[in-house]
Copies of this chain bind each other. A is one copy, B any other.
Amino acid sequence: MALVVIGGVAAGLSAAARARRTDPRLEIVVLEKGPVISYGACGLPYLVEGRVRDPGQLIVYTPEYFRKERSIDVRTGARVVSISHPRREVALESGARVRYERLVIATGARCDTTGIAGAEQPHVFTLHTLDDAARLRAFLLEKQPRQGVVVGAGYIGLEAADALRRNGLRVTVLERSQQLLLRDDAWWTAQVRKQLAEHGVDIHCGVEVRSIEVDRVGDFAADVVVIAAGFKPNVELAAQAGVEIGRSGAMRTDDRMETNLRGVYAAGDCAEVNHLVTGRPTWIPLGTTANKAGRVAGANAAGGRERFAGIVGTSIVSVFGMGFATTGLSDGQARAEGFSPVAAQIEALSKPRYYQGVKTAVELVADRATRRLLGGSVVSEEGAAGRIDVIATALQSRLRVDEFEQLDLAYSPPFSPVWDPLLIAAQQLAKQL
């Protein structure tokens, strides 16, 4: 009898490591379908760019480390093809079967290219595994493509566009929706659009890609294509075994990361978590959430009692050196969730002018009825991460604008102005409420 973990990247390994700490004697088996475990998927664009030179730099732990230091049996190349929960058993592609008492499903997500004809050509890439990134890097060096098309303007799409542009390619980004970087917010989208334009990236919204030709994508010439759209949770195995799938398409979980099947936990890009602003299940696949939820799943699967309260949807991405950071709900999302949102946008300096502060744009959204903060965004070449984290902490704490406005933030000229851009935005928002 053992704990079996399906998936050996962020959530799976966090679960396994935490389970080991919770129960030093538990038998723990991790089944990873790929050839490596524990790679920093968020580092892949920097491998494509060339900033990270060796794929090995993105690998944090090896199976050997887990075997020796944690007594965890990590098997690579071990693809699970079915789960039989009545028998408490998973079947591998190899035909082998592994019995479990508790199961953690951390099967992640994938870039689903099935709707795109021509996606299997050698000049078409996704950017999901270490191998994807290494092959794209090699392609850039060997084939010296001149024209790149990126399908999808989410985080990975724009990071890929940045990486290709820095390698001298002309780059066009095609996005199906009218939103850039996944946020339903005209102000935000305008900021992203401006940054792309300033760095010579051509962007077209409302373009659905159905096929990729050998030298073009629709009207756009392309000798290399990166597909960064169609991200989907890998839930087929789980669904077949009877795990309930939520409206988002990812697995439903409770706050212990347990699915509807007793003893079966799910975490990471394949699972829903609670959204602390809306109080509803959400699917926002990010590495940070995978690690945290994985820990909780692992602790509980090993007999502990831990709770994952949820997320507020914080993310940041660098596009040509500009940090685009968001958390919580946009104005549009807040309205769709039944709030009566009010949004304020300001621009201020990241530091005093005499200390070379740079432009920092902040948007805050609050609910008119309760004055509670619902979300925010920060766009700046400096300090965007720290400032979005303050908003995230405030959301998690359910602060009202009036409380946020009086936050005692650090001030000294090398770091920040005496009125932080966040506080200026809060003052502006308070006026509008």
CB of A405, distance to nearest CB on chain B (Å): 8
**Stretch of A68-76, A109-117, A281-289, A362-370 on the interface side:** A281-289
Given contacts A313-B408, A317-B412, 4 further A-B contacts (CB under 8 A): A311-B408, A312-B408, A316-B415, A396-B407
Q: Which of B291, B352, B415 has a CB less than 8 Å from the CB of A43?
A: B352
A415-B309 in contact given A288-B408, A316-B410, A407-B393 (Cβ < 8 Å): no
Interface assignment of A390: CB less than 8 Å from any CB of chain B? yes
- Cα distance, A400 to B324, chains bound together (Å): 29
How many copies of the polypeptide does the oligomer hold? 2
Interface assignment of A138: CB less than 8 Å from any CB of chain B? no
CB of A319, distance to nearest CB on chain B (Å): 10
Contact with B along A409-433 (1 / 0, CB 8 A): 1111111101110000000000000
Interface assignment of A61: CB less than 8 Å from any CB of chain B? no
B383 near A408: Cβ-Cβ < 8 Å: no
A58 near B354: Cβ-Cβ < 8 Å: yes
- Can you list 28 pairs linking A and B with CB atoms under 8 Å apart? A40-B413, A42-B412, A43-B413, A52-B354, A57-B353, A155-B412, A287-B411, A287-B418, A288-B409, A289-B408, A309-B406, A311-B408, A313-B408, A314-B409, A315-B410, A315-B412, A325-B410, A383-B385, A384-B415, A387-B389, A389-B407, A389-B410, A392-B407, A392-B410, A393-B399, A393-B407, A396-B397, A396-B408
Interface assignment of A233: CB less than 8 Å from any CB of chain B? no
CB of A370, distance to nearest CB on chain B (Å): 16
CB of A153, distance to nearest CB on chain B (Å): 16
Within 8 A of B (CB), among A325-383: 325, 327, 352-355, 383
Interface assignment of A146: CB less than 8 Å from any CB of chain B? no
Contact with B along A43-87 (1 / 0, CB 8 A): 100100001100001100000000000000000000000000000
Interface assignment of A99: CB less than 8 Å from any CB of chain B? no
Interface assignment of A388: CB less than 8 Å from any CB of chain B? yes
B396 near A403: Cβ-Cβ < 8 Å: yes
A316 near B413: Cβ-Cβ < 8 Å: no
Interface size classification for chain A: 35 or more
Interface assignment of A394: CB less than 8 Å from any CB of chain B? yes
CB of A248, distance to nearest CB on chain B (Å): 17
CB of A75, distance to nearest CB on chain B (Å): 24
Interface assignment of A235: CB less than 8 Å from any CB of chain B? no
Interface assignment of A308: CB less than 8 Å from any CB of chain B? yes
- Cα distance, A389 to B388, chains bound together (Å): 10
CB of A127, distance to nearest CB on chain B (Å): 14
CB of A284, distance to nearest CB on chain B (Å): 9
Interchain residue pairs A-B with the least CB separation, the first 5: A386-B386, A397-B397, A316-B410, A385-B415, A318-B414
CB of A43, distance to nearest CB on chain B (Å): 5
Contact with B along A112-155 (1 / 0, CB 8 A): 00000000000000000000000000000000000000000001
Interface assignment of A10: CB less than 8 Å from any CB of chain B? yes
Which chain B residues lie closer than 8 Å to A410 at the CB level? 314-316, 325, 327, 385, 388-389, 392
CB-nearest residue of chain B relative to A315? B410
B354 near A43: Cβ-Cβ < 8 Å: yes
CB-nearest residue of chain B relative to A287? B418
Which chain B residues lie closer than 8 Å to A418 at the CB level? 10, 40, 42, 287-288, 291
Interface assignment of A157: CB less than 8 Å from any CB of chain B? no
A392 near B406: Cβ-Cβ < 8 Å: no
Which chain B residues lie closer than 8 Å to A394 at the CB level? 393, 397
A292 near B406: Cβ-Cβ < 8 Å: yes
